Amino acid sequence: MKLLLVEDDFAMAQALQLALERRGFEVDRCANGTDALARLRHDPPALALLDLTIPGLDGLQVLHKARAEGLDTPIVVLTARAAVGDRVVGLNAGADDYLAKPFDLDELEARIRALLRRHGRDNDAPQRVGALSFERRSGAFYLEGQVLELTPREQALLKALFATPGHAVAKEKLFRVVFPMESEIQFEAIEVVAYRLRKKLVGSGVSLVTLRGLGYLLREDAPA
């Protein structure tokens, strides 16, 4: 499920992207309103998270233009402007929801999923890759109907791979998801987590494949 995060504060954008990726979302980022409007037009995400105070076109201008053009991507405004009047202006401009900073990540995730359901862009049925399935509501992985016991880091890695099965995910991205804000961890540590996860998938018909120079991908094995 791809989200677009529009935020010009680099540290905040990076931290929020990592947090959402750990919760199973795929997150694209941009830092100004001009790029945001172009993404909404030409590569629309399932949902956009939009800050109001961004360079170029500000958030309200992005909202007005997007809705005037008939673009129907659900948009959640994230902003430090918490006054009632600001919320009314944002909602009247076309926002689907409004969350004042600082916000709780659990509440943000709940609002995202509620909007996706409301717009028919979320499917609560388990995702599947062969005998492996992921249940979004509980966050649990099942292998042939049995809960797959995973460490938090293995869980984060598998979620990131599950978002794009059959497609490579760069090691750099996986490292950021599995080891967020842990600057003392060496980059090679992602290989250790991948090795342990691969062992847990042996014999399941699902493989974690290393693509040298590209990263890792999750795929269903071909029948023998």
CATH code, 139: 1.10.10.10
Q: Of 51-65, 70-84, 167-181, 207-221, give the lowest mean pLDDT range.
A: 70-84
Give yes or no: residues 71 and 49 share one domain: yes
Residues 9 and 95 in one domain: yes
Which domain-ending residue is among 95, 118, 141? Answer: 118
* Residues 132 and 114 placed together within one structural domain of the fold: no
Give the number of C-alpha atoms closer than 13 A to the C-alpha of residue 155, restricted to the C-beta side. Answer: 17
**Residue 123's pLDDT band (boundaries 50, 70, 90)?**
low
In terms of domains, do 113 and 213 share one?
Answer: no
Inform me whether the pLDDT recorded for 137 exceeds 80: no
112 or 164: which leads in pLDDT = 112
- Please enumerate in sequence order all residues whose Cβ is within 8 A of that of 123, keeping only pairs 6 or more positions apart, or say none: none
Q: Are residue 106 and residue 138 in the same domain, yes or no?
A: no
Residue 6 pLDDT more than 90? yes
**Domain, as residue range, for 138:** 127-220
Which residue would you say has higher pLDDT here, 118 or 49? 49
Do residues 35 and 76 share a domain?
Answer: yes
Same domain membership, residue 109 and residue 153: no
Q: Count the domains in the chain.
A: 2
d(CA 121, CA 116) in angstroms, rounded, equals 5
Look at residue 50 and tell me whether its pLDDT is greater than 80.
Answer: yes
Together in a domain, 6 and 114: yes
CATH of the domain at 112: 3.40.50.2300
Q: Report the chain's mean pLDDT, rounded to a whole number.
A: 86
Question: Is the predicted pLDDT of residue 52 greater than 70, yes or no?
Answer: yes
94 with 152, same domain: the answer is no
Which residues have CB under 8 Å from 50's CB, separation 6+? 6, 36, 59, 62, 63, 75, 76, 77, 78, 95
Last residue of a domain, which of 98, 118, 138?
A: 118
Query: What CA–CA distance (Å, rounded) separates 47 from 15?
Result: 18
Looking at 99, 118, 137, which one is the last position of a domain?
Answer: 118
Strand-by-strand arrangement of the 146-147 sheet: 127-129, 132-135, 140-143, 146-147
pLDDT at 200 exceeding the cut of 70: yes
**Are residues 148 and 181 part of one domain?**
yes
Q: Are residues 20 and 109 in the same domain?
A: yes
Amino acid at 1: M
Mean pLDDT within 103-122:
85
Are 108 and 161 in a shared domain? no
